[in-house]
């Protein structure tokens, strides 16, 4: 039974159904009716009671220390589950804190709904200075996929249904839902209230590709001498894991995973061309993109990275993505599950594998690069460098392939992406399309809450600082999260100097030899100070075995990092030198 406003019973003996229901409970019931079982948020006026009542009604409420991290958690939950992650905030400042995560979710095509309480319309619209006054709907609109406001209790069901549909249908993204304070206290007749709620039927309808589009793609693929498949995080999101693997294996085409598509097929798969990435991008003649955009992460599909001329097949749910950077010869528009299944059917049983010269040339380069990497990974320098510390984590993930890896930083990100192999789909969460710092603890909390699996957060020391206070949240909910801070005393590295010779340290430098492990200890978690690969290995093994919140302060050579990791060339001063 849904909780409703307590009206005095009509008779003293009989327990009657309450006759009215308020806005708080309509919101909660509408979410529950649609299978939403978790809210990530931060309480305050006007939504404090909503968090309490939601918890009382059986929704798990994960309360954060800053809304941006609650928002990031909602986004990651959306990516992992295909259900919109819910972030709940107070008005103006709380809303703004959550907005970064909403915009980031939209950019990454992750479904989430930011629900913010807001001030009264009458006062906001006349700009009369309400408590935390802000025209939130107008501000959210350009930063998300859709934005709605509900003014009347009887429209709550429609508002939540529209928000859910907008978040998960077509290209997924972030939705803003504005709920003014007055709405929560509104009441309506209970039976009518219940009837006004909507259980969304088929929220993300399949989108079947046209048969001629599938045929065109297969015809082009057949002509390829050097075909390549590129898997993006859209392919990971789609949860069409078995068919994607079948497509790769039945075609025999080498593939490259984008960072969050790692593990869709195990990184150790014979057809993975990741260790020969530059070579295959340069040489391929036909490239099939599955849920990956030709944005900056793929050098916009042109220029030196891509070498000679090539033709593209692109599988995507968003028709306007096609031709965004270069001409696409064979677009296939639909949901990835339906598209990949149609391709498999269309291929028939007699599909010729790619020419052996192509796959042999890739294997040769792979072997060379992997042997070189094995030597680097085996080294045990003191202090640790990025590679020696990451080789420990690589082994830990190999032993626990169900663990989720969260990863941010510059060098810490770039090295981890290539060193730490993933074995299962949707086990890697990272800085995504924007290369944003600050996703770390929000993503880690969501991964632990949604999956119950161990989480290893591989964090640059600067990156960790953006969300570091959420270690309290991790301890409060006793989540199986092990954070490894790659502590090299600064942003990128710790050795920059102030060019003026003044007393301030350089803008990229932090307090030397900081003990991030103590931060975890402050809240009752386990802190480990690791100066060697052995200490790191022991700390990580214990954290994964115990499931206790752990922070390992991994001391990394402060000279080891490169400015901006592998994207140094994007710095304006580098462009000037070109």
Q: Which of 229, 268, 263, 227 is nearest to 366 (CA)?
A: 268
Residue 492 in the binding site for ligand TPW (CB under 6 A): yes
Nearer to ligand ADP, 15 or 320 (CB): 320
Peptide bond into 383 cis (omega under 30): yes
Shortest CB 494 distance to ligand TPW, Å:
8
Residue 463 in the binding site for ligand TPW (CB under 6 A): yes
* Distances from the Cα of 510 to the Cα of 1, 26, 92, 322, 459, angstroms: 54, 49, 32, 44, 15
Partner touching 260 among ligand ADP, ligand TPW, none, CB below 5 to 8 Å by kind: ligand ADP
- For residues 332 and 214, is the Cβ–Cβ distance under 8 A? yes
Give the residue, chosen from 108, 473, 488, 550, that forms a contact with ligand TPW under the rule CB under 6 A: 488
Nearer to ligand ADP, 185 or 318 (CB): 318
Cα angle vertex 418, ends 416, 422, to 5°?
80
Residue 217 in the binding site for ligand ADP (CB under 6 A): no
Give residue 552's Cα distance to chain centre: 23
- For residues 117 and 179, is the Cβ–Cβ distance under 8 A? yes
Instruction: Provide the pairing of β-strand 112-118 with 174-180.
Output: parallel
Shortest CB 1 distance to ligand ADP, Å:
37
Residues whose CB is less than 8 angstroms from the CB of residue 519 and which lie 6 or more positions away in sequence, other chains included: 468, 471, 527, 551
Partner touching 410 among ligand ADP, ligand TPW, none, CB below 5 to 8 Å by kind: ligand TPW
Nearer to ligand ADP, 79 or 358 (CB): 79
For residue 403, report the phi and psi dihedrals to the nearest 5 degrees: -70, 150
Give the residue, chosen from 295, 369, 495, 564, that forms a contact with ligand ADP under the rule CB under 6 A: 295
Task: Count CB atoms within 10 A of the CB of residue 274.
Answer: 19
Tell me the Cα Rg of the chain.
25
Q: Which of residues 529-568 bind ligand TPW (CB under 6 A)?
A: 561, 565
Nearer to ligand ADP, 232 or 460 (CB): 232
Residue 107 in the binding site for ligand TPW (CB under 6 A): no
Strands (E), 95-166: 112-118, 146-149
Tokens describing residue 411:
């060098």
Partner touching 258 among ligand TPW, ligand ADP, none, CB below 5 to 8 Å by kind: ligand ADP
Distance separating alpha carbons of residues 186 and 356, to the nearest angstrom: 70
Give the residue, chosen from 228, 248, 258, 485, that forms a contact with ligand ADP under the rule CB under 6 A: 258
- For residues 244 and 237, is the Cβ–Cβ distance under 8 A? no
Residue 460 in the binding site for ligand TPW (CB under 6 A): yes
Residue 238 in the binding site for ligand ADP (CB under 6 A): yes
Residue 408 in the binding site for ligand ADP (CB under 6 A): no
**How many residues bind ligand ADP, per CB under 6 A?**
24
Shortest CB 466 distance to ligand ADP, Å:
20
Residues forming contacts to ligand ADP in the complex (CB under 6 A) are 108-109, 171-172, 232-234, 237-238, 258, 260-261, 291-293, 295, 297, 316-318, 321, 335-336, 433
Residues forming contacts to ligand TPW in the complex (CB under 6 A) are 409-412, 435-438, 460-463, 486, 488, 491-492, 561, 565
């Amino acid at each position: 039974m849904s909780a409703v406003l307590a009206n005095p019973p009509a008779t003293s003996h009989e327990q009657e159904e309450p006759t009215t229901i308020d806005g708080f409970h309509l919101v909660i019931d509408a979410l529950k009716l649609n299978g939403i079982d978790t809210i990530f948020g931060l309480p305050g006026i006007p939504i404090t009671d909503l968090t309490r009542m939601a918890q009382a009604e059986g929704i798990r409420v994960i309360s954060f220390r800053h809304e941006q991290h609650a928002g990031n958690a909602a986004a990651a939950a959306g990516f992992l589950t295909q259900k919109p992650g819910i972030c709940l905030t107070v008005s103006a400042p709380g809303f703004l804190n959550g907005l970064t995560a909403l915009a980031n979710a939209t950019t990454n095509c992750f479904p989430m709904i930011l629900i913010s309480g807001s001030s009264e319309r009458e006062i906001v619209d006349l700009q009369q200075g309400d408590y935390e006054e802000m025209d939130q709907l107008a501000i959210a609109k350009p930063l998300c996929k859709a934005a709605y406001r509900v003014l009347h209790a009887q429209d709550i069901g429609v508002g939540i249904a529209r928000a859910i549909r907008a978040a998960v249908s077509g290209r997924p993204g972030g939705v803003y839902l504005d709920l003014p304070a007055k709405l929560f206290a509104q009441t309506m007749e209970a039976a009518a209230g219940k009837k006004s709620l909507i259980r969304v039927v088929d929220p993300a309808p399949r989108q079947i590709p046209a048969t001629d589009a599938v045929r065109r793609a297969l015809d082009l693929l057949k002509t390829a001498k050097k075909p390549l498949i590129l898997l993006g995080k859209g392919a990971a999101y789609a949860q069409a894991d078995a068919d994607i693997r079948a497509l790769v294996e039945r075609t025999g085409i080498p593939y490259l995973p984008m960072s969050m598509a790692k593990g869709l097929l195990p990184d150790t798969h014979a057809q993975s061309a990741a260790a020969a990435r530059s070579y295959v991008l340069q040489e391929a003649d036909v490239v099939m993109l599955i849920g990956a955009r030709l944005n900056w992460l793929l050098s916009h599909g042109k220029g030196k990275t891509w070498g000679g001329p090539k033709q593209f097949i692109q599988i995507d749910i968003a028709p306007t993505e096609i031709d965004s950077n270069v001409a696409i010869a064979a677009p296939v528009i639909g949901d990835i599950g339906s598209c990949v299944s149609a391709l498999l059917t269309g291929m028939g049983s007699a599909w010729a594998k790619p020419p052996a010269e192509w796959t042999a040339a890739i294997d040769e380069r792979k072997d060379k690069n992997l042997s070189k990497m094995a030597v680097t990974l085996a080294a045990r320098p003191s202090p640790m460098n990025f590679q020696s510390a990451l080789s420990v984590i690589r082994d830990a993930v190999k032993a626990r392939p169900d663990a989720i890896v969260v990863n941010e930083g510059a060098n810490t990100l770039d090295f981890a992406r290539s060193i730490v192999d993933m074995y299962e789909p949707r086990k890697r969460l990272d800085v995504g399309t924007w290369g944003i710092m600050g996703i770390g603890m929000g993503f880690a909390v969501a991964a632990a809450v949604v999956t119950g699996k161990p989480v290893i957060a591989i964090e640059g020391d600067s990156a960790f600082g953006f969300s570091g206070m959420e270690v309290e949240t991790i301890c409060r909910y006793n989540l199986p999260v092990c954070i490894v801070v790659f502590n090299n005393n600064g942003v990128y590295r710790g050795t920059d100097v102030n060019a003026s010779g003044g007393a301030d340290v350089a803008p990229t430098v932090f307090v030397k030899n900081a003990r991030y492990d103590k931060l975890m200890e402050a809240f009752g978690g386990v802190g480990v100070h690791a100066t060697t690969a052995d200490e790191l290995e022991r700390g990580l093994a214990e954290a994964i075995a115990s499931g206790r919140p752990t922070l390992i302060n991994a001391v990394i050579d402060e000279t080891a990092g490169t400015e901006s990791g592998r994207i140094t060339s994007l710095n304006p001063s580098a462009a000037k030198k070109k």
